[in-house]
Amino acid sequence: MKPEEMEKAIIRNLADKTGRSLEEWFSVLRDTDLSEKHELKEHLKAVHGVGHFQAQTIIKFYLLD
């Protein structure tokens, strides 16, 4: 699977796997005082139990938003 396809699959399955959509995760991140990519990713993983690749994908699109 190509990286772009993997990313699309992660986003498509995000709500089922994590209980929140991409937009809902953006809201969660906006409520933090964090701004660095690494801090945001670690927050998702440690506080919310999001998987590594899911967290990476969420952060990528959050920072583009």
Tell whether pTM > 0.75.
Answer: yes
What is the reported pLDDT for 1?
Answer: 86
Distance CA(37)–CA(10), nearest Å, equals 19
What is the reported pLDDT for 63?
Answer: 95
pLDDT in tens, the chain (65 residues): 899 999 999 999 999 999 999 999 999 999 999 999 999 999 999 999 999 999 999 999 999 97
- Domain residue extents for the chain: 3-64
Is residue 33 within 8 A of residue 22, CB to CB? The reply is no
What is the reported pLDDT for 31?
Answer: 96
Distance CA(18)–CA(48), nearest Å, equals 9
